[in-house]
Amino acid sequence: MGQTTNNRPPDYVLIGHISHDLTPQGPRLGGTVSYGAHTAHAFGLRVGILTSADPRDPVLADLPPDVALVNVEAEHSTTFENRYQGNARTQFMYHRAHTLTPEMLPEAWRAARLVHLGPIADEVAADFVGAFPNARICVTPQGWMRARAADNRVLTRDWAEAEQVLPRCALAVLSEEDIRHAPELAERYAQLAPLLVLTRAERGGTVYQRGRTFDFAAYTVEHPLDPTGAGDVFTTALHIALAELGDLERALRVAAYVAARSVTRVAWAGAPTAEEVARAWQLAAEHST
C-alpha cells in the first residue's frame, strides 16, 4: 500500500478510485475523488484520499500537491473511455483497480468530520458507512450502479446496498443521468435518505428531504466548455457548505455557483478558484439577509 499521510485526520476524506480517462487529447485524471479533492482543497480543507491505482500512472501527478494519499497499489488504474455517436454516449471500462474496504483506512482517518464515498466502478465497500463514528457522510452512488460487460461496456446494475447505505448518510447526490434507466429510483432512494439531491445539469435539480420536495435553479454561464466533473464539484461544495452553514438553501447557492463556473474550464481544472469560493460564500451571505 502506497501512502502519504500522518496521524492527523484530514478535514475531508474521499474514498473511491481515481480514474485514468482515455480522451482524444490523451490520458486525463478523472473520478469523483479527484474532482472532490480539488474542490475541497479550494475550500481550504486538508484532504485525504483512499484509492487504488497504478502508482506509476502519470495522471496521479494532477491531484492537489498536498493531498494525503493512501493508494492500494494495483497493476492498472481504473480506466474509462467514452465514445460518442451523435449525442449518444457509450462508456467502456478497460481496467478496474482493487476493491476498497475499511481495513485499508489509516486509523486516524476514522476521526474525520467530513467523509465522501465516491465509487465509480462498484469498488467501495458499503461497510464504510460504519467506519466513521463522528463524521457527516456524503455519497455519490453512481459507481454502485455500474457493471462491466464482457466487451468492457459499462452497464447499469441494481444497487443492492442502498438500504444499508442511504439511511446512514447525511447527504446523497444523484444525477438524472445516473438513473435514466429507472427514473423511479429517485423516489425510492429519497424514502431511504435523510437528504437526497437529484441534479439536472443546467436545469438545476430537486431536493428530497424527509418528505419535503423542492426544486432549485442552476446559475447560467455564457460559454460552457466541459461539463465533466461538475456534479462532483457540486456535491463536494454542498457537503462542505452544509457542514459550515447548517442551512440547506444557502448551501445550495454555494454549490450551484461553483458547479456552474466549473463548466467554463476543462476537466479537473474546473475545480473552483479561490476567487470563486469567496464569491460563493458571499452569495450565501447575501441570501441570509
Where exactly are the structural domains of the chain? 2-288
- In angstroms, the first-to-last Cα distance of the chain is 49
pTM for the full model? 0.94
C-alpha cell at 175: 444525477
C-alpha cell at 227: 461539463
SS3 164: helix
Give the tens place of pLDDT for each residue, 252-270.
999 999 999 999 988 888 8
Q: At 245, give phi and psi (nearest 5°).
A: -100, -30
Give the tens place of pLDDT for each residue, 135-186.
999 999 999 999 999 999 999 999 999 999 999 999 999 999 899 989 999 9
Q: How many CB atoms lie within 10 A of CB 180?
A: 10
Stretches in the chain below the pLDDT threshold 70: 1-6, 87, 288-289
Number of residues that this document lists for the chain = 289
Given this model, what pLDDT does residue 51 score?
Answer: 98
Which of the 8 DSSP states describes residue 46? -
C-alpha cell at 148: 462491466
C-alpha cell at 235: 456535491
Given this model, what pLDDT does residue 223 score?
Answer: 81
Given this model, what pLDDT does residue 1 score?
Answer: 47
C-alpha cell at 186: 429517485
Given this model, what pLDDT does residue 3 score?
Answer: 53
In which residue are the cell numbers 442511504 written? 166
CATH superfamily of 2-288: Ribokinase (3.40.1190.20)
> Percentage of the chain surpassing pLDDT 70?
97
